[in-house]
Amino acid sequence: MKTAIVDDRHRIRIPDLKPGQVFAWEDNGNGQITLLEVQPKAREPGTPSILDGLKPFTKEECEECWGPQTDGDENDRIAEAMSKLPVPLPKDT
């Protein structure tokens, strides 16, 4: 058995776990806490995702939201890069 110390932000580092894993926990009331990994529910084939059909903003859409050259060169470079991303084609189902 290994031990871990809770930090000031109520976190415990468990080296065997990978980033992005999700756990449900239960306090058993007797000084024990049970962790159960929660697996994401798999989508049925052919079921559309809420992200399907999204496209990056065009330069014009970026300017409409944030205005032209609002926050300096970095945001302008980001907006320009986003406007150049390819638009994904919808998949035939």
The secondary structure of the chain, three-state, reads CCCCCCCCCCCCCCCCCCCCCCEEEEECCCCCEEEEECCCCCCCCCCCCCCCCCCCCCHHHHHHHHCCCCCCHHHHHHHHHHHCCCCCCCCCC
Q: Where are the chain's structural domains? A: 55-86
Q: The pTM is what?
A: 0.40
Tell me the average pLDDT across 14-25. 88
Q: Lowest-pLDDT range, 22-31, 59-68, 78-87?
A: 59-68
